[in-house]
Each structure stands twice: as structure tokens, then as C-alpha cells.
Chain A
Amino acid sequence: MSRVDGYGRIDRSRTVTVTVDGTAYTGHPGDTVASVLLAHGARPQNSSVKYGRPRGIGAAWTEDPVGLVQVEEPFPEPMLLAATVEATDGLVVRGVAGQGRLAEVPDTARYDRKHTHCDVLVVGAGPAGLVAARAAARAGRSVVLVDDRSAAGGTLTGTETIDGRPSLEFVADTVAELAALGVVHLQRTTAFGHYDDGFVLALERRGESARTRQRVHRIRAGRVVVAAGAIERPIAFEDNDRPGVVLAASARDLLHRHGVLAGREVVVFTSDDAAYAAAADLADAGASVRVLDARERAPQAGRRRCEERGVPVETGTLVHGTRGEDRVTAAVVGPDRREVPCDLLLVSGGWNPAAHLASHVGGSLVYDPVIGAFRPAELPPGVTVVGAANGTFALADVLREAGGPEAPVAPAQEWPEPTLVLWRTPGDPARQFVDIARDATVADVERAVGAGMSHPEHVKRYTTIGTAHDQGKTSGIIALGIIAELTGRPIQEVGTTTARPPYTPVAFAALAGRERGDLFDPVRTTALHAWHVAAGAEFEDVGQWQRARHYPRAGEDMTAAVLRECAAVRTSVGIMDASTLGKIDVRGPDAPVLLDRLYTNLMSSLKVGRVRYGVMCGNDGMVFDDGTVLRLAEDRYLVTTTTGNAAAVLDRMEEWLQTEWPDLRVRLTSVTEQWSIAAVAGPRSRDVIGAVFPGVDVSAEAFGFTTWQDTSLDGVPVRLARISFSGELAFEVTVSSPYAPALWERLVEAGAPYGITPYGTETMHVLRAEKGYPIIGQDTDGTVSPHDLGMAWAVSTKKDDFVGKRSYARAENRNPLRKQLVSLLPTDGATKLPEGSQIVAHCDDGRLPPAPVPMLGHVTSSYHSAALARPFALALVKGGRERLGEVVHVPVGDELVAARIGESVLVDPEGARRDG
């Protein structure tokens, strides 16, 4: 056991058991998997991605390039760092050999999002973040403070002094003051992405047993203060990938957070002052420590502290390599390659500011040769970087920089020694690992540069450096340094790769939040939905709407049900829920002008009380939508749209009105949800309507086709309109949605003597297709003009202009080979052509010619027809109306099905049935 009494912020009164690679280890609440393993002198059974070399734990937090584990229990999660997985009882993990494993069963944990707005967001609750948050909160700002670790304090270990007190007391007091000031303070919360205008995403890990496992905070802040600290920089030497080679500050962190001494015989290899604190603390905790400082002079204070503890310090000394098998047993030191036995080799090459969040929003970086790292330069408005993230490392300076006038004070560092910027020591470049996570060595960088690559992005892509789970947190700068060395250019000129979100990996499910299943996209149902469900309807998705597709009876498949429903409408009466049609109230003195400009036909000439079918096109002249237009008053229309296009039509109408013709006095209001529509269709529909509305004269003379009338039922206003999408006598009955179920029941009851049959969208499609009425979006695809649909009659020749008109004069619109809507009757009278089938010229030998085979068009709609007692189809065919009567072939599977082109209207072309 390497647990040291008196150290660590763990709860030693309780134990947890975690299983790693099949072995159970005991730890304490407050531990991580890494600290538990190191407490037992163990490591995860990892091997490296390319060479299969053993890997241990290289750091105590997210910068660790190697200590990956696969979580197996309580739920599989791939590729987490042992250093970041909190030790919980029953946790089962194993080492990773390069790839993680996904669960085979769905994750039932809950993930959600929370929106927060604040004046100031502080990222990082180390000394810089705490005092920055305190300063802002004291100034009356609303403040959010997030920090990725389990407790505030950052790199403070308790050995420092702030305002004359032990630093952790200062941390506790400050946390309490922030709470009193109303600061939203979230630990275990990683700010992982920073977007424009102070928008920061932060992932809160709430624990496996919490109702919400993880929560993404979407924080919009007036100012973002990045106080995310710095990442210690390693130095590359031979076999620096061997387990037991650890960042110096991480060993100190493990000791002070978890009470774990990561080694007993410690060599500290440094080119920086900070590692002396690690040397002293580990010696205090009982380790035998030796410091090898690459610099010619050791810092005075550090040397003194070492001398006090009997820790030898050698200056001007380099580690060249390591010895050992599964873990380090000795450091290879100096040009004479003497072996210094050790079970822990700590490395510190200085510090890299963790300014990633500033870079996410376009903050620039500048190379600072004094610290050997890039630090923030120009920042976008509203972004501040303080403390180590800004390249300010000494505690006294950090507090001053972050705290403003009320900054706490810490003793200045005595006689600091400048950092020696050292990317690697002399040795075999093929054994010096730059990116341990990717098994990429100095030799790989040399090869890349030798191959002609000079840009760091090229080297990164050639070597894969910086692409692993840690995104190069420790390796990126070393790679740049070595590229600079090899190409003889200053680092600033070599440039950097760009930091991209996320700062640390985030589970897909956390980002998906609750937008799953029915919450993935809203489900819209009509006021009559419950009735359809009770009637056994099958539904289809039409846009966000669920529409009843058909109502199968016992033993019926869809074909049978639809044939029955169709026959009912053609012979008696059927009823359909048409409430999903888009409805737009168009009101104002200039409403007729607006509609004349938007529809291809005239709407200003429509008389009050009448209904007209209309087609709307885009500027390109292609059909965009269609529907009926009711004139309610001189200054008021009700426009209906297709179900899927309702929002788009309203948007487009608003766009024209507001941006092109703001002079028109018109207001547009969506009333889709407000009004429900029951379509009652069939020769007996008059009887049904007459029975429910005895006060209305429903005779053909008194209530003509394409007219509407207002009436009421038990005092509830109802609108009746004679509109037919089936060619049959038909009425549309409109009522305020809350009354729709009652009205529907009354209609069904009144229709009972005639066997009134509820029908769904499929039957509606068949009935309209028999009449050659197109469905926009099914029989059109954005490349079809009204003329192509045979609807020249709906295109006004009287109007000077309307949207799309000019495009009809283009060359392509006069092309005789444009596709036109026609019917297609399989000559065998039996085959139902699959919708989407392509059409080719008749192959006289009954075989397709070799590819490519010219195509004439495709089948847009295809059904069995009860009325025709045969299958039929609608199709878009090149020059189709010139080909009436022609027999073409339709490849279906391996067969060629012959079909005859005909007029698009197949049932009742004279229109005799519409008046019943």
C-alpha cells in the first residue's frame, strides 16, 4: 500500500471496492480509479495502440495521455481516463488496448440540459478562478463558477499561504462567501466548448445514482473568465512511455488529494521550478527523492527545501532514458548513461497555459519563449484569461491578476530560476515518444519533416500526434518544438494547430439530452386523434403530424382496407380527418392583391362565399404548394396548404409581404391548430350533412360546388364548404378544435344508416389519384411546373405578373421533353407498379438494353383502384401528353412491365359525380 496517513481529501472512514482487470481493489470515497490503483502499486493492463507496449498512468487529470480504462460496470463506457473516473463501490473497469467498447444495450440513464444566464462565467475554481469569481460577485454581478474537479482549489495543496492562512482555509472561506453571494458554483463540471457571444457549454457529472446522470449547462455569459490553469509539459527521452513515468505535479496532486504516494524511490527530472514542490512534498510523505535539474542552476528556495529534507539535487543533468519491463526500474542519466534506480520518474518541462476555451472563439495565441509555451494574445470581446491559463504561474501574481483591488496576497517566490525550454534530451529519436497516446516518436516527426511537411497540421496528420483522446494536451507543444528545431524556424512561425471543442470528450447521449424517442421531434396529433386510435387506425408520419393512414378491420391488410374505404366513398359515404391541412387567415384591404401575386391564378376575382383551388410557385416557376382559398369577406381569405408545408407557406408569405411589399395592408395568421376539418365525401354525404344540419339547404342548387356557408350546431359555429378532393359529392366541415370530437361523433352517428366509413390518407390518395389530382411533394419534386401537371387552367394569363411567371418564358420551360403528369395503366391489368419505378421506352425484344438505359420518367403514385377494378399509376413522363396511348416498359425487379400512357384523369372525367 502506498497510502500515506495524514494526506488527502478522501473519506477514510468508508471504503469502496473497484475491480480493475479482474482484481478487486479497496479505495475510499474521494478516490479515482487511478489513485486506487496507484495506492496499490498497480496499473491498468493497458497496451499502446501501435506497438503494444505497456502503459500506466501518466498524470492525475485530463492531460494523461495513457491511463485509459474501459468501464464495464455499472454500464459500459469506452475510453475514460482512470484519473478522471471517480471510484465508486462496485465499479468494474479494465485496461484498454487502443480501442474502447460500446455497450450492446441502450443506455437508460437520463441526460438533460439546463440554460443559465449570468453576467460573469468563471471557468476554473483554482486560486485564479476563486478570486475572480469573488471579485465579480462582490461587485454585484451574477456569477457562475464551474470547475471540472470534485472540489475547488485547483493546484493548491494546502502547503501554500494565502492572506497569511493555509491555502485550503482560504479556499473553504471563499467557497462559503461565494455561496452567500449567490454564486452558482458547480464542481465536477467541465466547460468544454466556447462559442460566440459568451456561450459556453459545460458538462456536469452528477453521479451514476443521480436521476440525471449528466447535465449539459448551456451558459450565456456577459463575460467569460478563463481560469482553467495550465498543463504540465513533459520532456521526451528514450522510453519515456514506460509505466512509472509521471508528470511531477500529478504526483503531488495524488498525494494531496488522495493521500497516495505514487512511488517510494523517486527521481524528479525537471527544467522548471515547480517540480521542487513535488520533490519536497513526496520526501515529506516518506519517499526517497532525487532531483535532476536540466538547468545549470537550481532555484535557491527549491534547493534549500531539498537540502532540508536530504533530497540530493544535481544540476545540468539530463535523463536520457529509462530501464524496466512493465514499469520503470531506473532512470538512465547523463551522457555516460548511468542508471539511477527508481520506481517513479517524475518529469516537468514547464507549463502550457490551458487557454483552449479562448481559442474556441477565435482568440489568438503567441509563443512566449520564456515559458516555452503559447499564451493567449488577442482575445475576442467579452473574454478574459487569468492566472496560469494566461501564462501567469507564480501564486502571488496569479492572485493579483485575477483578484483586482481586493486581491488576496501570497508570499512572492524567492529567487526563481527561469525555465529551460527543453523538448527532448539526446538519444535515439525512435524511442523518444512525443505523443505516447498515439505511439508517435521524435523519429516520426523527423520522417514527416523529411517527407516535405513543414506545417504542423501536415505533421499532425502524418504522425497522428495530437489526435488521441487527450487531443495533444501534453504532446502538441513538444511536436511544435521539434518541428521548429528540425526546420530551423522559430516556433511562432511554425504556428499551431487549432484547439477545437470539446476540451475533454463528452458522451453523445449527454449532448443528445432528452431529445430522444418521442421528444426527438414534437409529435403533433389532431383533436380527433383519440377517436382514430380507438377506431384501430394505422398512422403515418406526415411532417411532425401523425395522420390516420387507414382503418383496417380484423383480417384486413392495408390493400384490403383501402379498397373497402375507397368503395365506401365512391358508393356511399366516408369521413376523413383533414385537420392537419395548414390554414392561414389572410386579412386586410390588400389581401386580394397579395394573393394575386402569390398564386398562379386570380384570387381577387373570387366572390365572397366561394372557394377556389390555387397553386403557389417559387420564383423559379416550380410548384411549391397548393390548396383551397375561401373568400370570407372582401378583405379576408382563408388559405389552406398541404400538411407538410404549412409553416413553409406561411413563412414564404410573410417574407414576400414584409420584405417586398411592406406597403400592402395585410396580416397573416396561422389558424391550423384552431380549426379542425372533417371531410365527408361520397354520394350520401348530402344526406349526412343534411341530417346533422337540418337548417341548411344542402341541395345542389342552394349549396353549389366550391361554395361555403356558415352555420352552427348547438350554438357552436360551424363552416360548411363544398370542396372535393375525390371527385365525389363532398363537404368539408370546419369547427373550432375543442368541439371537433363532438362534431365528428354527430357526423358518424348521422352517417350510420349509410354505413359511413372512416377513411385515412391512403384512401384519400387513391381517390384523388383516380381523378388525376397531384399531391405536391409526391407527384412533384421541385422541378415540376403547373403546366407539367396539366394545370395550365390554374395559371392566369390575365395577370401581368405573379411569383414564378417570368420563369415560364425560359428556354427549358418550353422544352417539349419536359416531364408531364399522365396516368399509366399496366397492360396486364393486374400489376401494381411500385411507386418510384422508372419508365423506359418499350423494349420490343422484351429485354432491357445495356446500361445506361435512357429513362422517360418515373411512377409518382400507384394504387389498386376499387372504381377501376384494376391497379393504376400516375407518372411524370418526358413529353407525356404527346405520348398518350403509347406503351412503355417499367422495370420491376427482373421483369419488364408494359404500361399504357393515358390521360391523368381516370374516374369520372366529365365531373358528373361531384354534385351527387
Chain B
Amino acid sequence: MTAGTSAPNTAPKPPGADLPEHPDHLWRDAEPKKAYDVVIVGGGGHGLATAHYLAKLGITNVAVLEKGWLAGGNMARNTTLIRSNYLWDESAGIYERALELWEGLEEDLDYPILFSQRGVLNLAHTEQDVRDSVRRVEANKLNGIDAEWLGPDEVAKVCPIVNVSSDIRYPVQGATFQPRAGIAKHDYVAWGFARRASEAGIDIIQDCEVTGFVTGGSGADRVTGVRTTRGTIAAGTVALCAAGHTSTLLDMLGVRAPLQSHPLQALVSELLEPVHPTIVMSNAVHVYVSQAHKGELVMGAGVDSYNGYGQRGAFHVIERQMAAAVELFPVFARAHLLRSWAGIVDVTPDASPIIGHTPYENVFLNCGWGTGGFKATPGLGWAFADTLAHGRPHPLVAPFGLDRFVSGALVDEHGAAAVAH
């Protein structure tokens, strides 16, 4: 870059200098063709990852339809936490597979996604938090997931800025720690998948909103195509990866799923010198925070209580979040809220996703990730691509079928006091 060379620069390297350069070409903005073997509805992280892994299986006559700008929904709005320390075997399976893929994703995508394994602390503030935390740590270990239980002093060693003294309302009793957890740069991940998929010949089609489905033909339980704002597209298989907008698509198909879409807010501070070496989450004192590469603190706030598609939430949620942040991290007092925003999360009754068959034999569902979608991205893409290729749920996603709400075999992640987000 010429701008950099024109000025004398003897000072230490500024923090922004280490950010990677992006490739000169990312993806081809395709015009829709008349027909595809697979049509993926939703050009977010999950849709793009699914496309990438389909290409690896040799399936490239694929379209990814995005109603707005690519990866502009929750992928562009999440707080980029990656971890796999979930309680139940079913959840641990898919999230741990995802984490394994995250660990090789930079090479796989040949894209600097800024994946940084800095560990996550899930704080415990009450005796019951401690029990639940130990339970999760022990389950993680038996599932082969790195996890340990830390006392308050050890918490302070991992993250010195956490207030572990007893002078706060809900003192820290300890924390679970997953060292392999981390963060990555959400946009870069999406663009990396998009670039790979596009290179493989998959069509990425933006500004293409699905307005209906064509059913019938060989049987009433098949969908033969999707109607879009850019014309009707015939489809061999349809994969729904629309997160908060899934219900709208399912309504077009006359299929019901137990999904509720809520605003979920997040925020960032200005760029700060490194103070926060890990990720900290707390349910009781609701906060989760990491410090991104450029130096900004990235925080998630709570889910707004009501259904909403507005990509904005209420301010009292942010205020509460700030109170929690300053309570747990007194040094954050004069950090500044720079920007807040909201995504739309699709929440299920058991806080676990819904993946698999629909009543239409060639339409597959992937939704209900709530706050967990980003961290699952490569794992879901990998398992969902396999699901689409073979026309049956991959074993890792099989426990998450829609039928579990009928049988009662829920994967109850919030009931088990696991940590959201």
C-alpha cells in the first residue's frame, strides 16, 4: 500500500497493521439458472458452509439464494464465540465436530479468518451454578472435549480483569474453562466459504428472495422448485438455512415448527489496548464478552422477550448488559459503547436446533439455532451437506429432528442450565 510507505514510520507497529489483506476476488454474483440439483435458501454462514461442503462431495450444481446481501443476517451480527462445551451428548457431538473443523478452517478456506483459540470461561455465581458447571465439565471430559473447573483464583489467573472479590452482588464462585474455545472474524468466515463455493461453480445469488414453493409433479410430497423475486428456479433438493426467517418459509409450505424469532442485541466498544485475553460468559450476571483483534470489546446482550423481526431491540436490555459488564469487569467503566445492533434469533422450546426431514421428502430443514448458530457453522455445513447428499439426516444431526417434540426426546440445553450463546 502506497499510503503506508509515504510516511516515516519508526513507531511500533500500530494494532491495525496486522489485519490481513482480503483476496482480490471473493465471489461471482451469479444470475439464477433455470434449475439446480440443490437450492439452498439463505446465504448466511450455514447456507454458505453447506454449499462449500456439498462442493467437497462433488455436488456443485447448487444455488445459494440470499434475499439481501450475502451473510448480512445473523452472520454479520453475531459476537463470534466458538466453543463446544455443551452438556448433552447430542449437542456436544455437533459442536465439537464444528470446533474440529474450525481448527483447520483457515487452511481449508485459504482465508485468514482470524480464528483465535483463547479459551472461554463460563462463570458460576451460586452453589447451583457450581453444581451445573461441574456437571458440564465432567460430561465434556467424558465426551473428549477439553474442559476444566477453575476456582476463583484460577479464574483470575486466566483473566485478571474479572472481579473475583466478594464485594460484588453475586461473587464469582469459579468457572468452567474450555481452552480450545475462541473467536473468529464472522465476515471473513462467510466470505471464505462463499469464495470456495463460488470457485467450485456454485451460484451465489444475492437480492433473490424466495416468495413461494412449487409443489406437485411426481408427488404432492415433493417440492419441484422455488419461486423467487428473480423468477422460478427448479430444484432437486431444497435446503432451508434461513435462521430467523425460517417460519416465513415454512408458512409457505404449510409446515409448522416450534420456532419463535426474537431480537438479540450486541454491541462493541472503541478500540482498546489488550486487556481481556479470553472470553468470559456469565448467565447469572448476564454478560458475555471478548476482545476482538482490533481491540474492541464485543459483547452480547440478552434476548428481547417478544417476537420481533426488526433487527433492533429495547434499550433497557443494553443498560442491564452494561451494568453486568461493569459489575464483573470494573475496569470497563470508562470503555465506551460505540455501536449496538440486533439480529433475529430463532429459538426453540429446548434451546436446541431443528435439523432434518420435513413432510416434503426433498426439503430439509436447518433452523432453531438460537444463539448457537455461528459456532456451529462448519460442523452444521459438513453434516447438513452429507444429509442433503444422502437424503437422510447425518448421525450428528439426527437427534435434532422435528419429531422430538412429539416423542418428548428433547435435547434440553436450557433446562439443563447450560449456558446460552
- Give residues in A with beta carbon < 8 Å to B: 47-54, 75-79, 97-107, 109, 193, 195-196, 199, 201, 239, 325, 362, 428, 430-431, 433, 438-439, 441, 443, 447-448, 450-455, 457-458, 461-462, 464, 467-469, 471, 500-502, 505-509, 511-513, 515-518, 520-521, 523, 540-542, 620-622, 777-778, 781-783, 807, 810-813, 815, 834-838, 840, 848, 850-853, 855, 858, 860, 891
Contacts and interface: CB of A to CB of B under 8 A. Distances in A.
Contact of B14 (A48, A103, A840, A850): A48
Contacts of B25: 450-452
Interface stretch (B125-133, B212-220, B356-364, B391-399): B125-133
Contact of A106 (B333, B337, B415): B333
Contacts of A51: 1, 3-4, 7, 9, 14, 17
B169 A517 contact: yes
B319 A511 contact: yes
Interface string B3-26: 110111101111111010011111
Contact of B29 (A199, A452, A523): A452
A458 B138 contact: no
Contact of A78 (B144, B168, B315, B334): B334
Nearest to B410: A783
Interface in B361-409: 406-409
B191 to A, nearest CB: 8
A509 B337 CA distance: 10
B346 interface: no
B15 A98 contact: yes
Contacts of B412: 781-783
A458 B22 contact: no
5 shortest A-B CB distances, which residue pairs? A782-B415, A836-B134, A851-B144, A812-B408, A505-B336
Given A512-B327, A852-B89, A778 B128 contact: yes
Nearest to B171: A541
A834 B133 CA distance: 11
A107 B337 contact: no
Interface of B: 1-4, 6-9, 11-17, 19, 22-29, 68-70, 72, 76, 89, 125-128, 130-139, 141-144, 167-170, 187, 206, 269-273, 275, 285, 295, 310, 312, 314-315, 318-320, 322-327, 330-341, 406-410, 412, 414-417
**Chain A contact residues, majority secondary structure:** loop
A100 B406 CA distance: 54
Nearest to B204: A452
A461 B315 CA distance: 25
Given A508-B325, A834-B134, A891 B141 contact: yes
Nearest to A463: B22
A500 B343 CA distance: 13
A858 B417 contact: no
A146 B408 CA distance: 56
A195 B312 CA distance: 9
19 contacts: A103-B333, A105-B330, A362-B312, A430-B1, A462-B22, A471-B338, A506-B336, A511-B318, A517-B169, A542-B126, A778-B128, A781-B415, A782-B414, A812-B408, A835-B130, A836-B131, A836-B137, A851-B144, A891-B141
Given A452-B25, A512-B319, A516-B323, A540 B134 contact: no
Contact of B139 (A509, A810, A855): A855
A851 B142 contact: yes
A52 B142 contact: no
B3 A541 contact: no
B226 to A, nearest CB: 22
Contacts of B310: 362
A378 to B, nearest CB: 16
Contacts of B2: 428, 430-431, 443
Given A100-B271, A441-B3, A851-B144, A812 B29 contact: no
A506 to B, nearest CB: 5
A100 B270 contact: yes
Nearest to B194: A452
Contact of B131 (A462, A540, A782, A860): A860
A53 B3 contact: yes
Contacts of A443: 1-2
A402 B22 CA distance: 47
Contact of B408 (A47, A431, A810, A836): A810
A452 B28 contact: yes
A516 B324 CA distance: 8
Nearest to B14: A98
A438 B29 CA distance: 28
A516 B341 CA distance: 24
B326 A99 contact: no
B150 to A, nearest CB: 14
A53 to B, nearest CB: 4
A98 B3 contact: no
A858 B138 contact: yes
A54 B135 CA distance: 54
B335 A102 contact: yes
A97 B319 contact: no
Contacts of A467: 339
A457 B341 CA distance: 14
Contacts of A461: 76, 187
A821 B336 CA distance: 49
B314 A195 contact: yes
A509 B135 contact: no
Contacts of B415: 622, 781-783
B273 A836 contact: no
A512 B135 contact: no
A511 B320 CA distance: 8
Contact of A513 (B136, B272, B323): B323
Nearest to A458: B69
Given A79-B270, A453-B26, A97 B11 contact: yes
B319 to A, nearest CB: 5
A783 B416 contact: yes
Contacts of A853: 142-143
Contacts of A509: 322, 326, 332-334
B334 A102 contact: yes
Given A201-B315, A508-B337, A516-B327, 18 more contacts: A52-B9, A53-B3, A53-B4, A78-B334, A239-B6, A428-B2, A443-B1, A443-B2, A452-B25, A455-B68, A457-B69, A508-B269, A508-B322, A508-B335, A836-B138, A851-B143, A858-B135, A891-B142
Given A453-B26, A851-B142, A855-B139, A49 B272 contact: no
A505 B337 contact: yes
Contacts of A455: 68-69, 72, 206
Contacts of A781: 132, 412, 415-417
Contacts of B136: 836
A470 B250 CA distance: 41
B157 to A, nearest CB: 17
